[in-house]
Amino acid sequence: MKKKIQLILSMCFALFVFMTINLPSIKLFYSSSIWNILALLGLLVIGIVRKKIIKEKMILLKGIQIKYITFFLLLWGMMLYVSFLYAPKSLSLSDKVQYISVILFSLGIVLFLKKTDMNFLVLYQTSWGIILSLLEATVGIDKNTSLGQNYLTSGVAIAVSIVTFFGYVYASNRSIKIKVLSFPIFLILFVGVTSLRGRTPILLAIIVPFVVLILNTLFETKVKRKILMLLSIVVVAIVSIIVLTYVLPESTINRIFRVFSSLEEEPRYELYKSSFDLIKKNPFGIGLKGTLDYGIMYPHNIFLEFFLVGGYFMIFPLLFLGAFIVNTIRKAFVYKGFSIVWFSLFTYFFLTWNISYDLSSSYLLFTSLTLLVTSTTLNDQFRVDKI
């Protein structure tokens, strides 16, 4: 009986993590802040129930987790402190709640996530991506532009499903037959993401797997295997370019090539330039949402936003957290396992937050980072193929 309860609780906890990652796309069907509240409360309540009532053994807070929590809180603590000092006029109570929720989402996962949750999370994410892909490729999904919904809302969720499922299939030591059978799932997901006009989801859905392949090749110790992996990367890259050229509309292809050929024609170029100028004029930061007081919505780059918010105070928190992340990624590719799945997810959101979105919605970025850190902590206890 206890095992059944543990299984149900694991399914529920994974469901709330899934909701956290997919809040924007879930709101395509019913837009309400209740989803945010439900996801956060679900994480915390299920986590506490498992630890206090069911008496499940949870992850011991030591080593890598303590470092992560310390650097994470140092980063956010510095931004909140500067915001308190400068008190930006545009920083509302609603904004403060959003920033605090980013912290709570991450802490809830690092404290309560278990190894049994991860398979369910991959299952939920892949299934959600398939559902969105089928809907977008056939009838389409209505978006409410007044709520900020657009083609990226569903496109990001589908692309996230692609990189997550890729990480799962690639990291698991399963038979070639099983990996071949995963092809129809990838096909459905790619049909869904290419049916939309967003270039970022399409590009990152391809770039992230290549990053995984390249890093895995670098950490490969056998020379012959490394050469074969490099050749396969080149072949897959050529095939991907050819296929995309024939599948994507000409307008989307032109927008993609514009990123590489003419940066100054990109709308973000002037935005980045203005952000750099603002940082020079305010070396000690302007606080969260402070850019609105200077006529900038947000800089479309998380590093620019960090320095806009906290100024030069952010150098050491970012260096500490950055070094920690690099070391975590190294461990992920040495030990493999589920860490590869969450590295794929984190890489997607990390790249996304360097070209779009702001800190108020960074629960997606930090949730994926927390999953990577926690799974790396668990890597000595399990491998994907043993679950």
pLDDT of residue 353: 95
Which DSSP category does 203 fall into?
H
pTM of the prediction?
0.90
Q: Using 50, 70 and 90 to split pLDDT, how confident is the model at 25? A: very high
pLDDT digits (tens, 9 = 90+) for 256-305: 666 555 555 566 778 898 999 999 999 999 999 999 988 888 899 999 99
How far is the CA of 332 from the CAs of 68, 72, 227, 338, in angstroms?
15, 19, 21, 8
pLDDT of residue 386: 43
Q: DSSP labels for 74-117?
A: HHHHHHHHHHHHH--TT--HHHHHHHHHHHHHHHHHHHH--TTH
pLDDT digits (tens, 9 = 90+) for 85-136: 988 888 989 999 999 999 999 999 998 998 889 999 999 999 999 999 999 9
pLDDT of residue 51: 79
Cα of first residue to Cα of last residue in the chain, in angstroms, is 20
The Cα angle at residue 154 between residues 152 and 155, in degrees rounded to 5:
55
339 phi, psi to nearest 5 deg: -60, -30
CA distance 217 to 225: 8
